[in-house]
């Protein structure tokens, strides 16, 4: 299993016979510990998601270790919500730790760089919250178990239209982030398909704190709803400023809004927030109640979508390894794209050979400070 673009290091790791075992599927036994790298934003702006991801992934591998046959070691890195640290973390995991696969990073904004590195090193990478357009297309080693924002918005905007009777909206987006700009393109397409008019279109940047100019334009346009493509850092002051300026319109948000941290920080301003996503605590999916109970018991707080997706990633990697009872990079790459239908806490999920995930989206609304299905 070689290719011209596979580096020397990757070849050494991928031909490690100690990482291929005996037996198959549930009976697979591998003697050597299988090292899985994880890169999440555990500190700074995206820690709202990264902290839950670390916990969800650790719980998944802990359960798999208890099940036996394969012993996993998760090597966890913090990219501090910067591209530079994300690149350094991938480099360490690929070349120093020689992990079999990497889960993460948290933000699409880092993934466009780090996945290019993983691809050229021949290391499979599985995103659990990288939702922007174009991620799996980076290469054949790149996969995601994170519902694309295109799919989430194609569900949430029509659901919001139906429940709120939308005819005209304001769209605000962060023009400095890959995920939020990608989502903006999708928002325009979906609004167009739904025949909803954009009466105001405003931009800001990730670190902005004052949105008076943009919000004044939104107020004057009198939209039925505000569609906001932003990360939590800007969302909290923006939504609070909108409410104090007298903008009462409901807010429809993207993937970053699937967070109890954000809902808590917004306080009363979170009421009525509509968001599409990959998971709901209320969904009757296989293992969901057990997952919520185990997570809450272990960490003393309820899981969120980001925890649920990371937890699912542990099981998807385990499935890919057990398929040929082989934890080498090459085998994981070949088998992650062959997960035809896995019954997960996110519902039935599959990954196609392009590395793209397929699953049903859920649409939720915040009522009394908590997410409920719309």
Task: Retrieve residue 139's tokens.
Answer: 């290469």
Please give the Cα distance from 219 to 72 (Å, whole number): 53
Choose between 97 and 117: whose C-beta lies nearer to ligand 1QQ: 117
Binder of ligand 1QQ out of 114, 130, 305, 364 (CB under 6 A) = 130
- Is 106 a residue that touches ligand 1QQ (CB under 6 A)? yes
- Identified binder of ligand 1QQ from the candidate list 131, 280, 285, 305, rule CB under 6 A: 131
Closer by beta carbon to ligand 1QQ, 72 or else 306: 306
Least distance to ligand 1QQ, CB of residue 93, Å? 20
Interface with ligand 1QQ, residue 99, by CB under 6 A: no
Question: Which of residues 139 and 287 has its CB atom nearest to ligand 1QQ in the complex?
Answer: 139
CA 210 to chain CA mean position, Å: 28
Candidates 45, 47, 101, 107; binder of ligand 1QQ (CB under 6 A) is 107
Smallest gap from Cβ 149 to ligand 1QQ, in A, equals 6
Which pairing describes strands 251-253 and 225-229: parallel, antiparallel, or unpaired? parallel
Report whether the peptide linkage leading into residue 105 is cis, meaning its omega lies within 30 degrees of zero.
Answer: yes
- Number of alpha carbons in the 13 Å side-chain half-sphere of residue 273: 32
Integer Cα distance of 27 and 160 in angstroms: 47
Among 34, 38, 39, 46, indicate the residue that binds ligand 1QQ (CB under 6 A): 46
Tell me the helix, strand and coil percentages in the chain, rounded to 5. 45, 20, 35
- What is the C-alpha separation between 172 and 228, in angstroms, rounded? 5
Side-chain-side CA neighbours of residue 95 (13 Å): 11
Considering the complex, state which of residue 152 and residue 317 has its C-beta at the smaller distance from ligand 1QQ.
Answer: 152
Interface with ligand 1QQ includes 200 (CB under 6 A)? Answer: no
Find the shortest distance in angstroms from Cβ 230 to ligand 1QQ.
9
- Provide φ and ψ at 123, rounded to 5°: -115, 120
Choose one: 80-88, 123-131, 204-212, 283-291; the region binding ligand 1QQ (CB under 6 A). 123-131
Locate tokens 């174009």: which residue? Answer: 134
We find the least distance from the C-beta atom of residue 29 to ligand 1QQ, in angstroms, to be 36
255 binds ligand 1QQ (CB under 6 A): yes
Residue 125 in the binding site for ligand 1QQ (CB under 6 A):
no
Rounded to a whole number of angstroms, the minimum distance from the CB of residue 348 to ligand 1QQ is: 22
Binding residues among 159-198 for ligand 1QQ as defined by CB under 6 A: 179
Instruction: Report the alpha-carbon distance of residue 160 to residue 251 in Å, rounded.
Output: 9
Q: Say which DSSP state 144 is in.
A: E
Contacting residue, 19, 36, 45, 49, with ligand 1QQ by CB under 6 A: 49
Phi, psi of 157 (to 5 degrees): -65, -50
Count CA atoms closer than 13 A to 272's CA, side-chain side.
14
Question: What are the residues binding ligand 1QQ (CB under 6 A)?
Answer: 46, 49, 106-109, 129-132, 179, 255-256
């Amino acid at each position: 299993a070689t290719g011209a673009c596979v580096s020397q290091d990757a070849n050494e790791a991928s031909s490690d016979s100690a990482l291929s075992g005996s037996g198959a599927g549930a009976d697979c036994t591998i003697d050597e510990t299988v090292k899985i790298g994880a890169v999440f934003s555990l500190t700074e702006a995206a820690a709202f998601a990264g902290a839950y991801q670390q916990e969800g992934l650790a719980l998944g591998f802990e359960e798999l270790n208890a099940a036996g046959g394969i012993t996993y070691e998760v090597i966890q890195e913090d990219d501090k919500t910067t591209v530079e640290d994300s690149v350094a973390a991938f480099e360490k995991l690929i070349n120093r730790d020689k992990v079999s696969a990497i889960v993460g990073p948290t933000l699409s904004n880092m993934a466009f760089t780090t996945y290019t590195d993983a691809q050229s090193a021949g290391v499979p990478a599985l995103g659990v919250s990288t939702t922007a357009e174009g991620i799996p297309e980076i290469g054949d080693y790149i996969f995601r178990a994170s519902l694309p924002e295109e799919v989430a918005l194609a569900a949430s905007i029509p659901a919001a239209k139906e429940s709120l009777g939308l005819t005209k909206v304001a769209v605000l987006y962060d023009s400095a982030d890959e995920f939020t700009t990608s989502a903006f393109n999708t928002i325009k397409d979906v609004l167009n398909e739904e025949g909803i008019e954009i009466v105001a279109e405003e931009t800001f940047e990730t670190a902005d704190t004052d949105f008076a100019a943009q919000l004044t334009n939104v107020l004057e346009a009198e939209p039925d709803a505000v569609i906001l493509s932003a990360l939590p850092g800007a969302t909290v002051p923006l939504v609070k400023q909108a409410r104090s300026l007298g903008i009462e319109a409901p807010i429809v948000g993207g993937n970053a809004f699937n967070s109890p941290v954000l809902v808590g920080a917004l306080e009363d301003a979170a009421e009525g927030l509509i968001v599409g996503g990959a998971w709901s605590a209320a969904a009757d999916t296989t293992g969901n109640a057990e997952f919520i109970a185990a997570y809450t018991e272990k960490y003393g707080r309820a899981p969120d979508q980001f925890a649920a997706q990371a937890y699912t990633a542990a099981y998807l990697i385990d499935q890919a390894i057990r398929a040929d009872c082989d934890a080498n990079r090459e085998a994981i790459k070949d088998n992650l794209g062959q997960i035809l239908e896995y019954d997960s806490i996110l519902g039935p999920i599959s990954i196609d050979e392009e590395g793209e995930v397929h699953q049903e989206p859920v649409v939720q609304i915040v009522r009394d400070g908590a997410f409920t299905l719309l």
